Structure 1
Amino acid sequence: MSDLPAVPDPREMRVSNADRERVAKVLNDSMAEGRLTVNELEERLDKVYAAKTFGDLEPLTRDLPAGNQARAAAYPQPAPSRVNRVGGRGTSATAIAIMSGTDRKGVWTVPPTFTTVALMGGVEIDLTDARFEDAETTIQAFAMMGGIDIYVPEDITIQVNGTGFMGAFENHAQDQAQPRPGAPLVRITGLALMGGVDVKRRKPRKQKNKPKEIEE
């Protein structure tokens, strides 16, 4: 089993240009409402565009009664997720089926690069309860006269770019060109040669019992 790190303080996370612009809008609106003077606005905007973390941004709207808008501007808004998915050490780097079948599912940690091969066999990769060692992961899928099914939940961003030759590399989930804030990005690539790779979206299911960690 992998050691899971503590959830990081959101104030220590790095901000993006879009995060700075959201705070700047709150400040500009507050100045228009008469809550800030022009000099105060200029002083705070200088701090906004110099900010590196969300902790730097939070004090700039703390005294403004902007409600949810100010709080949303001060902290990152992660995609809905049942768990913090990023962190830990990869527990399995490959899934290979030669004239047989294998799977990776349940609670497991995916390394930055994961390779799966189906040679006249079948592989099932289920990311529903998976964690990820890094925020960005590449799954290389190669199916030769075999089949690979990859299930991804709704709170994971995917990019599928595989090739089918006398076979099919199919994406039945919606691609997103840009990852959503807080959501792991999984790139799925590879080759289906007289075989099939099928990427499917799986909705979250209710968990009655905590699943066990997969060990090789």
Structure 2
Amino acid sequence: MSDDHRTPPRLPDLRASDADRERVAEQLRDAVAEGRLDMTEFDERLDATYKARTYGELEPLTRDLPSHEPVTASSAKADLIKHGAAPSSDPVAINWPERMAEGAEPTSTLGFAFWSGFGRKGSWVVGRQFTAFAMWGGGEIDLREARFTDRDVEIRCFTIMGGLQVVVPPDMTVVVRGFGVMGGFDDRATGEGTPGSPRVVVKGFALMGGVGVDRKIRRAEKLRQREERRRARLERRANPDD
């Protein structure tokens, strides 16, 4: 009997596509947002990502990250089938179902600052209610990368001669109901978010202090915009006559 078996091509030697490179870039952006990579490491790995030509060159760039998924032809194809487009075809929008952590234990329910400060940021778990108090101090409550145990969330802010800052992504539903006494309670962030967004109510009071509620894009989106500007500069250098 003749041996009809053929040795398949080694996967590391296969050429990677733009979708494969963008898939790795997305994992790197997530790692920066979670604090696993600093900006120097991110820049180095991102440059290597966009210069990579094969799967073998891409795979080591995320090997030491918890979210690491080996970049293979089959995995890239599965991603395209699942999303109906390249993995980052809509990189701005938050996938709210993935951000829900129903039944999980909240990371923290209280922030307290007295002649000091506190911060809650990154991929922390927010419960149905979070209370913040600052006296002669300050605190930051950043919800841009947070996960939520409930779709109705109440952030209670109280400050006396201090300051509290609540940061939310642009696509979150926010209602601000606080008030200031010889102080300020900013309500400009009130507005509807995208479908499926949690509804976050910020309430409380500021006595001779201030509470600010700001909408800011996520760190990953800032990095994506930075990448786009860098790629545009490289394209202009490569095609100066266009």
How does the TM-score come out when normalised to structure 1?
0.56
Corresponding residue number in structure 2 for 1:189: 203
How far apart, in 2, do the equivalents of 1:187 and 1:174 lie?
Answer: 9
Aligned pair 1:151/2:167, yes or no? yes
Q: What residue in structure 1 maps to residue 157 of structure 2?
A: 141
- The equivalent position to 2:94 in structure 1, one of 61, 81, 95, is 81
Distance in 2, Cα, partners of 1:137 & 1:163? 19
Taking the TM superposition and a 5 Å limit, the aligned residue runs for 1:57-96 are: 80-82=93-95, 84-87=98-101, 88-96=104-112
What displacement does 1:174 show?
A: 4.0
Q: Considering fraction of residues, name the structure with more helix.
A: 2
Letter in 2 for 1:81: I
Structure 1: stretches of 5+ with no match in the other structure: 1-78, 209-216
8 Å contact kept, 2:176–2:190: no
Partner of 2:27: none
Structure-1 separation of matches of 2:93 and 2:105: 23
What SS is found at the alignment partner of 1:123? strand
Q: Secondary structure at the match of 2:203?
A: strand
1:174-213 matched pairs, under 5 angstroms: 174-176=190-192, 180-206=194-220
Measured after TM superposition, the shift of residue 180 of structure 1 is: 4.5
Higher strand proportion (structure 1 or 2): 1
Q: Which runs of 5 or more residues in structure 2 are unaligned?
A: 1-91, 224-242
Q: Please state how far the C-alpha of 1:171 moved relative to its aligned partner.
A: 2.3
Q: Deviations over 1:39-72 (max 9, x none)?
A: xxxxxxxxxxxxxxxxxxxxxxxxxxxxxxxxxx
* Match for residue 171 of structure 1 among 153, 173, 187: 187
Residues 1:116 and 2:129 are matched in the alignment: no
Per-residue deviation at 1:85? 1.6
For the Cα contact (< 8 Å) 1:172–1:201, is it kept in 2?
Answer: no
- In 2, Cα distance between equivalents of 1:152 and 1:138: 13
Q: Tell me: higher relative CO, structure 1 or 2? Use CA pairs within 8 A at least 6 residues apart.
A: 1
SS of residue in 2 equivalent to 1:206 = helix
Deviations 1:122-152 (A, max 9, x none): 0011111001110110000001100001000
Give 1:173 deviation, angstroms: 1.8
Q: Is the 8 A contact 1:123 1:148 kept in 2?
A: yes
Aligned residues: 128
The residue type equivalent to 2:122 in the other structure is G
Q: Secondary structure at the match of 2:186?
A: strand
Residues in 1 aligned to 2:218 and 2:117: alpha-carbon distance in whole angstroms = 25
Report what 1:213 is aligned to: none
Q: 1:156 offset after TM fit, Å?
A: 1.4
